[in-house]
Amino acid sequence: MPSRESGAGTKRRIALTVNGKKVERDILTRMTLAEFLREELDLTGTKVGCNRGECGSCTVILDGNPVLSCTVLGIEAAGREVLTIEGLSSGGKLHPIQEAFVEHDALQCGYCTPGMIMSIKALLDRNSNPTDEDVRKSTDGNSCRCGSYPNIIRAAIEASKKMTHK
């Protein structure tokens, strides 16, 4: 009879696109996408807070949709496109959402920030002119223990204006 640990060390080769680059790795089938990004690819901008789908700090964009990467297995991302916080800046220049977070003091400890920004990025990709309520809804799975919510909403709205007027 197989033990409960059976298969715990099983690896599978996956190929996917992360921040526009093709990557291929042998990974443990039980590894979450968050673990894969942080431990295999050194993309530690994605934060793990609760590790059980409650805080939103691990949010990344998978095929255009925001997902909690602690609740997705790495092997589920095979053949798909992942965007993490590291993929937002380009040529040494911050993304307008990141700039707006700095300008509007939208972070204190910063632990929730990558996840917040990825949820807002997914929102602005489908709605270039969001209301405060839209921002609230898109980030309702993202907790900020420092209570930066008013500034986060202001930053998201200002970022949307910058992005549509550039």
Binding site for ligand FES (CB under 6 A): 48-51, 53-58, 68, 70, 107-113, 144-146, 148
The sign of the torsion formed by the CA atoms of 50, 56, 60, 62 equals: positive
Taking the CA atoms of the chain, what radius of gyration do you get in angstroms? 17
Query: Smallest gap, in angstroms, from Cβ of residue 147 to ligand FES?
Result: 8
Q: Which residues contact 60 (CB under 8 A, 6 or more apart)?
A: 33, 34, 37, 46, 66, 67, 69, 82, 83, 84, 85, 118
Per DSSP (E only), the strands in 21-160 are 21-28, 59-62, 65-68, 81-83
The smaller minimum CB distance to ligand FES, of residues 77 and 144, is found at: 144
The smaller minimum CB distance to ligand FES, of residues 16 and 116, is found at: 116
Query: Smallest gap, in angstroms, from Cβ of residue 166 to ligand FES?
Result: 27
What is the distance, to the nearest Å, from the Cα of residue 132 to the centroid of all Cα atoms in its chain?
Answer: 21
The smaller minimum CB distance to ligand FES, of residues 12 and 145, is found at: 145
Query: Smallest gap, in angstroms, from Cβ of residue 115 to ligand FES?
Result: 8
Query: Smallest gap, in angstroms, from Cβ of residue 104 to ligand FES?
Result: 12
The smaller minimum CB distance to ligand FES, of residues 11 and 137, is found at: 137
